[in-house]
Amino acid sequence: MSFPRALRPGPSTRARITEVNRGVRRERRDDLATEEPLEIRVQAGGERRTLAITMRTPGADFELAAGFLYGEGIAGEDDIASIGYCTDEDVAPEARYNTVTVRLRGDHLPDLRGLDRHFMTSSACGVCGTATIDSLRDRRPPLADSPGPKVSAELLTLLPDRLRTSQSVFGKTGGLHAAGLFDAEGTALAVREDVGRHNAVDKLIGHALLTGEVPLHDRVLLVSGRSSYEILQKALTAGIPVICAVSAPSSLAVALAREFGATLVGFLRGDRFNIYAGQERIL
């Protein structure tokens, strides 16, 4: 059976706008950050289920799906058999690049109870509250046995600029969050962008998962926005010991970092930053 050709959405969308500068109006073209839904389906054996729908920026969709499943404890390093866009007859042509099916190894789906209320998520909230602290304790022990890298204060202050130079879509649109994974020498190993900072982290961790690099015990994570519980949950699940943000952390993010022995840095701007937990890793 042949399907009508489906157009694959890109990370940016062109639009005509009216710019007003000192009272003078002019028509010009602008590039907007694309925001479209992504339906994440899981399949095992003869079972298939829609797990979540999240608003995201198209690009690295397979990584986003893998990172989301990994962060929720649904799929580990060896559980994903394949990931693909959906071409089922029940999916409209214009939605085929907005639907991803993750095929898991095994004869049946894992226990997905507790995720029902998170069927629809947004680019802003990610998967708010999907994992309790108790379940995180069960899945990922504290980082005491994985001390992670020692990072100099001077090096940390260089990371925001290095993240920004890798944000190609942000340079066009000015409307995207970013998450970057760095080594102890400050080299950017991978950077992902999205309208949602949680999605950007999922894409980054999904990339590491699909390339066999998790756990990330010797890496530094930098996010372009604030650090929340969800960001910490995803980072800790992947074993990342140093989490930095250019904005503020939430109270629960700080509590989680202290309990699990992670280093949490906030307000990383210019030559200053605040250390909220794990100062022993900052030289």
- Residue 125 is a catalytic residue: yes
What residues contact 160, with CB distance under 8 A and at least 6 apart? 222, 224, 246, 268, 269
pLDDT for 1:
41
pLDDT for 139:
65
What distances in angstroms separate CA 58 from CA 116, 164, 181, one per listed residue?
24, 19, 20
CATH number at residue 261: 3.40.140.10
Q: Is residue 66 part of a domain?
A: no
What residues contact 134, with CB distance under 8 A and at least 6 apart? none
Number of structural domains (the chain) is 1
Q: Is residue 217 part of a domain?
A: yes
Q: Which of 86, 125, 128, 244 is catalytic?
A: 125
CB atoms within 10 A of CB 41: 19
Block means of pLDDT (10 residues each) for the chain, 283 residues, are 60 85 89 89 91 92 96 90 84 82 92 62 48 63 70 95 80 76 95 92 96 94 92 93 95 92 94 94 93
**Binding positions:** 267-272
pLDDT for 146:
62
* SS3 assignment, position 73: coil
Alpha-carbon span 239 to 259, nearest angstrom: 14
pLDDT for 128:
45
pLDDT for 167:
75
Q: Which residues span the domain enclosing 193?
A: 143-281
pLDDT for 46:
87
